[in-house]
Amino acid sequence: MCGIVGFSGHHQAAPILLEGLSKLEYRGYDSAGLAVRDKDRMAEVVKSNGRLKVLAEMTDNGNALKGTTGIGHTRWATHGAPSKINAHPHVSGNCTNSGSGTVESEVVGVHNGIIENYQELKEKLIKKSYQFYSQTDTEVAVKLVDYYYKKYGIGPIDAIAKAMVRIRGSYALELMFQEYPDEIWVARKESPMIIGIANGESFIASDVPAILKHTRDVYYIDNLEFACVKPGEVHFYNLNGDEVKKETVRITWDAEAAEKGGFEHFMMKEIHEQPKAVKETLASVLKNGKIDLSSVGLSEEEIKKFSGITIVACGSAWHVGMVAQYVFEDLAGIPVRVELASEYRYRKPIFYENELVIVISQSGETADSLAALRLANENNVETLAIVNVVGSSIAREAKKVFYTLAGPEISVATTKAYSAQLICCYALATEFARIRQKIDAKYYKYLIEELESIPEKIDIIIKDKERIQWFASKQTNARDVFYIGRGIDYAIGLEGSLKLKEISYIHCEAYAAGELKHGTISLIEEGTLVIGILTQRSLYEKTLSNMLEVKSRGAYLASVTTYGNYNIEDTTNFNVYIPNIDEHFSASLAVIPLQLMGYYISLGKGLDVDKPRNLAKSVTVE
């Protein structure tokens, strides 16, 4: 949530900052701003409400702002309504009503995160004669740094360190000091931030895509560290002011992967990239026809000892966990519980001997998931992260890591990251089953072959997307949509429902089909769209029976089922058929039509598919 960029080098900063912010639009925002300066110039601040293109037009795509050092921000409103005055950057002095213009302030800054004790700090600063023009917690942080900077007069290091000690909450803070014209100072607690170096210039961002065009060598700032960024160099410090040595991490993502590549939207591009994401993620652990988890850090001895698994995640990653629960328990015979990360640590979970906690997160920075991981680590249980971003907080703090090789995912609605996470769970469950002697060699070989067939089968479904597009075009005026299924099919429905609601704004829910008679069926009206997922043979007839129940009450029926189940056409109005596959892995195929359905309905309604309202790609605050 929110996006931060920074640049210090030899080129004009503002165009580079705007380009970087455009790569972070998927994070969600309601306003944007820049602050740029040269050695002989005071900082010039420009802010706008609304989309980034407004800021670009105000600054002639950045060309109107002179200077080779600058910071930029896209704001997701937390403290204070979306407005130009509340937009970042903020300054340590007073400012005009617009918050823009040339400012003679000692400190200018931007911030991601939430400062929990901002009101307490604000009251203290008011007593020290500071005046406030915005309702943001960020202005408080900037003025707190200014206060310590002026009080002690010994430079940015001590001022930032003292402010960090006083601030409670989460932050990625980016600051410019008037007396240090070519430097940007950054500080971090919980909220992500990276620094890249290339050709004597330095780049700062809250996520990799913003700087991928310029450099692949990045530094990750650890919690409660800060840094001084100059052209082509960076120095890191701990809270004691001691310098900390760091090594760069090489980002292997292709820069073109963060571009649309001829597609109208990132979401459609990423739907098409799912076969590649699944294939490459599986290939990272599949060696000579066998699953090798040595790169993950799991040994056979450990796998034999685990007495149970807890999967902790949010959103679509939690839906992956729901699928994984069925697969692990059925294949490997190991008990699994799936927890919402946002609830996990607040109900005081009971940890037990030889427990494995798996945390799933695309970004590796999800605040609730990171907190859950830390709780598990504090209780000395084994932790494994399934993440997409190398060097992310969750990847660094988990004891073991299974990387998804999905590349950058830009659309807010996840598709390829979800599919890559699924294949990780399938691989883990299959290997657990083998090592724990729940399956024989013949079945193991069969499962491996089924896993390897998934990319091609996903591609087959995508090639039939025009038929789904035709159906979706008839549903743009739907008011309520319900997804029903049993077992894995219910878990698939959860993800299908989320895809539709988050990008089409249609109310929809997923229900375990057997629960319909326990209240939910009262919601069915004439013409209500009900989508049944039927990929599990043993549950097929039961779910079909539930579909007949809602049909008799006026529901309009659609289904996602496997090839061969053509008798369903006597019951339903529209059907999507997916290739046959081992039923444990059906979610990888059945979710594709549901992704396409959500995309085309959103497109038909004329909505912003990649950047739905009120949502952010990475939720880095509670």
Residue 181 has a pLDDT of 86
Please, are residues 403 and 391 in contact by the beta-carbon 8 Å criterion? no
Mean pLDDT calculated for residue range 371-391 = 94
Does this model's pTM top 0.95? My answer is: no
Residue 28's pLDDT band, with cuts at 50, 70 and 90, is low
Please, are residues 600 and 464 in contact by the beta-carbon 8 Å criterion? no
CB atoms within 10 A of CB 125: 18
Mean pLDDT calculated for residue range 226-249 = 91
In angstroms, rounded to a whole number, what is the distance separating the alpha carbons of residues 385 and 400? 6
Residue 448's pLDDT band, with cuts at 50, 70 and 90, is very high
Mean pLDDT calculated for residue range 270-291 = 96
In the structure encoding, which two tokens stand for residue 359, read together?
A: 């945390």
- For residue 426, give the nearest of 453, 400, 408 by alpha carbon: 453
Could you give the angle at which helices 274-283 and 416-435 cross, rounded to 10 degrees?
30
Compute CA distances 457 → 285, 503, 544, whole Å: 20, 25, 25
Alpha-carbon dihedral sign for residues 120, 123, 129, 132: positive
Mean pLDDT calculated for residue range 587-592 = 98
Residue 595's pLDDT band, with cuts at 50, 70 and 90, is very high
Q: Which residue has the higher pLDDT, 378 or 87?
A: 378
Q: CA 567: distance to chain centroid?
A: 40
Distance spanning both ends of the chain, measured CA to CA = 11
In angstroms, rounded to a whole number, what is the distance separating the alpha carbons of residues 555 and 75? 42
In the structure encoding, which two tokens stand for residue 63, read together?
A: 């060309």
Residue 441's pLDDT band, with cuts at 50, 70 and 90, is very high
In angstroms, rounded to a whole number, what is the distance separating the alpha carbons of residues 297 and 307? 18
Residue 277 has a pLDDT of 96
Which position has the token pair 């695309």?
Answer: 362
Task: Specify the range with the lowest mean pLDDT, choosing from 115-129, 134-148, 604-618.
Answer: 604-618
In angstroms, rounded to a whole number, what is the distance separating the alpha carbons of residues 381 and 344? 15
Residue 365 has a pLDDT of 86
Confirm whether 617 is a catalytic residue. Answer: yes
CB atoms within 10 A of CB 251: 21
Where do the structural domains in the chain lie, given as residue ranges?
3-251, 259-460, 464-609
Q: Tell me which H or E stretch contains 578.
A: strand 574-578
In angstroms, rounded to a whole number, what is the distance separating the alpha carbons of residues 39 and 391? 34
Please, are residues 604 and 476 in contact by the beta-carbon 8 Å criterion? yes
Residue 256 has a pLDDT of 64
Residue 518 has a pLDDT of 82
460-512 pLDDT tens trace: 999 999 999 999 999 999 999 999 999 999 999 999 999 999 999 999 999 99
Residue 97 has a pLDDT of 47
Compute CA distances 431 → 70, 290, 438, 487, whole Å: 50, 9, 10, 22
Residue 619 has a pLDDT of 62
157-190 pLDDT tens trace: 999 899 888 988 888 899 999 888 889 999 988 7
What CATH class has 259-460?
alpha beta
Which position has the token pair 């993800």?
Answer: 495
CB burial string 335-352: b at 16+ within 10 A, e below: ebebbbbbebbeeebeee
Q: Does position 328 have pLDDT exceeding 80, yes or no? A: yes
In angstroms, rounded to a whole number, what is the distance separating the alpha carbons of residues 484 and 530? 7
Q: Does position 27 have pLDDT exceeding 70, yes or no? A: no
Confirm whether 508 is a catalytic residue. Answer: no
Residue 75 has a pLDDT of 75
Task: Specify the range with the lowest mean pLDDT, choosing from 201-210, 439-448, 491-500.
Answer: 201-210
In angstroms, rounded to a whole number, what is the distance separating the alpha carbons of residues 412 and 444? 36
- Residue from 143, 501, 611, 617 carrying the catalytic annotation: 617
Is the domain defined by 3-251 classed in CATH 3.40.50.720? no
Same-fold call for 259-460 versus 464-609: yes
Side by side, which strands form the sheet with 90-91? Answer: 90-91, 107-115, 169-177, 184-189, 225-230, 233-237, 243-244
Alpha-carbon dihedral sign for residues 450, 454, 459, 460: positive
Q: Looking at the domain 464-609, which fold is it?
A: Rossmann fold (3.40.50)
Q: What percent of the chain has pLDDT over 70?
A: 94
245-273 pLDDT tens trace: 988 888 877 666 667 778 889 999 999 99
Q: Does position 201 have pLDDT exceeding 70, yes or no? A: yes
Mean pLDDT calculated for residue range 44-69 = 85
Task: Specify the range with the lowest mean pLDDT, choosing from 408-412, 434-438, 583-587.
Answer: 408-412
Q: What percent of the chain has pLDDT over 90?
A: 57
Residue 566 has a pLDDT of 86
Query: Residues with Cβ < 8 Å from 584, sequence gap 6 or more?
Result: 326, 327, 330, 331, 426, 429, 447, 488
Residue 255 has a pLDDT of 61
* Strand-strand pairing, 217-220 and 249-250: antiparallel
Residue 525's pLDDT band, with cuts at 50, 70 and 90, is confident
Residue 573's pLDDT band, with cuts at 50, 70 and 90, is very high
- For residue 313, give the nearest of 324, 303, 304 by alpha carbon: 324
Judged by DSSP in three states, 333 sits in coil
